[in-house]
Amino acid sequence: MAIKSSQTLVSEALKEVKTISTDNAYKLVNDHQCNLIDIRDIRELQKEGQVEGANHIPRGMLEFWLDPESMYFKEGKLDLNKEMVLFCAGGLRSALAAKSLKDMGYEKVSHIDGGFGAIKQSKFKII
């Protein structure tokens, strides 16, 4: 049985999803054009801090919280007509997560190149 490596899955996802810079993400957030979604684990947020104004949806719950048919759907938490801009710590989990949202039917999906590591070096405010 041939198992795809996580590296292969990320490489395939990166071919399908839009990757944006922290500057592009910052502009989308300031122009109220997106939902900024932090998919890191709660322990990462507690240890590293979080981005002001970002929605926290843990990676393990993302598909459930964004599925209107799911009992876990968060009604009104996000504007489903706006772009979903995802980030994790370094950009690998968010690439997989963005592909998953595209597979669900979300068309306006992107993830931030370099994740939280890059965000810390950008204009975003960390709280």
Report all structural domains of the chain as residue ranges with CATH numbers, in order of start. Answer: 19-119 (3.40.250.10)
Which of 81, 103, 115 minimizes the C-alpha distance to 16? Answer: 103
For residue 106, the SS3 value is coil
CA distance linking residue 117 with residue 126, whole number of Å = 11
- Residue 109 CA, chain-centre distance (Å), reads 8
Distance from first CA to last CA of the chain, Å, rounded? 46
- Judge whether 102 and 16 are in contact, CB under 8 Å: yes
Which pLDDT band, with edges at 50, 70 and 90, does 106 fall under? very high
What value does the mean pLDDT of the chain take?
96
pLDDT digits (tens, 9 = 90+) for 34-84: 999 999 999 999 999 999 999 999 999 999 999 999 999 988 999 999 999
pTM of the model: 0.95
* pLDDT score of 107: 96
